[in-house]
Amino acid sequence: MINDSGSWLHLHVLLIFNAIMAISKSNIILGIDPGTVVMGYAIIEVNGNAVKILSMDVLKLGSVKDIYERLEMIHNKVNLLIAQYKPHTFAIEAPFFGKNVQSMLKLGRAQGVAIAAAMQGKINVTEYSPKKVKQSITGNGNAAKEQVWKMLQQTLSIEEKPQYFDATDALAVALCHHYQTSSPLGKIAKGFKGWEDFAAKNQDRILKK
């Protein structure tokens, strides 16, 4: 029961400790930048605050004319990555709604089959908008791909620049997911606007003198 400020502090510390313990375990994240011509993918392993890139590359689909064959290739590739690296979580960039409806339909299908593969593998799926990913990595939701890459290069000490930004975009998605799920305070505050909101919604746990 919560009856004074000391108890509040104890609860606060306990929740932070539990959150830190939860994120201290090794966590493998598969990030996907969906596409019907080039699909970017990246796998990172997180141990506490240390992030290690296990793989970062692209699946080239442009030489295949049949769209359904491309979708099958995407599904098979994601399945292969899951089998090889056994990720705990799956993060994917949500389609950006532009003016070209046909392109959006194709991109939506590519995203859908990648998500289906993750769900088939019983992996939790999280989607992030392009703006959210950029904001998380660079602090600017409108950052250019080159800016995102530069920040990734600095943060993860990457020496060689990948040939395709699709790969670095996938890495950004994976790292974004790590940032969004690793903050102890973020975990505690999930569903509440603050400690006052927590108290208001948990009156039965508060003992008033």
Give 146-186 pLDDT, tens digit per residue: 999 999 999 999 988 889 999 999 999 999 999 999 865 44
Q: Which of 45, 72, 127, 166 is catalytic?
A: 166
pLDDT at 112: 95
Pair of tokens at residue 203: 């009156």
**Residue 52: alpha-carbon gap to chain centroid:** 15
Strand blocks (E) in 61-162: 89-93, 124-128
Look at residues 8, 84, 12 and name the one whose alpha carbon lies nearest to residue 45. Answer: 84
Q: Is the pLDDT of residue 76 over 70?
A: yes
Helices (H), the chain: 5-23, 67-85, 101-120, 130-138, 145-156, 165-182, 184-189, 195-200
The pLDDT mean for the chain works out to 83
pLDDT at 35: 93
Q: Which of 93, 169, 196, 204 is catalytic?
A: 93
- Give me the DSSP letters along 104-133: HHHHHHHHHHHHHHHHHTT-EEEEE-HHHH
pTM, full prediction = 0.76
Domain 27-183: CATH class, spelled out: alpha beta
Residue 172 has φ and ψ, to the nearest 5°, of: -65, -40
Give 19-48 pLDDT, tens digit per residue: 555 545 789 999 999 999 999 999 999 998
Give 110-123 pLDDT, tens digit per residue: 999 999 999 999 99
Catalytic-residue membership of 93: yes
Catalytic-residue membership of 166: yes
Instruction: Tell me the percentage of the chain whose pLDDT exceeds 70.
Output: 74
Q: Which of 4, 33, 66, 72 is catalytic?
A: 33
> Sheet containing 124-128: which strands, arranged edge to edge?
50-60, 38-47, 27-33, 89-93, 124-128
Q: What is the dihedral of CA 125, 128, 134, 138, to 10 degrees?
A: -50
Pair of tokens at residue 109: 């299908």
Residue 11: band (very low, low, confident or very high) from pLDDT cuts 50, 70, 90: low
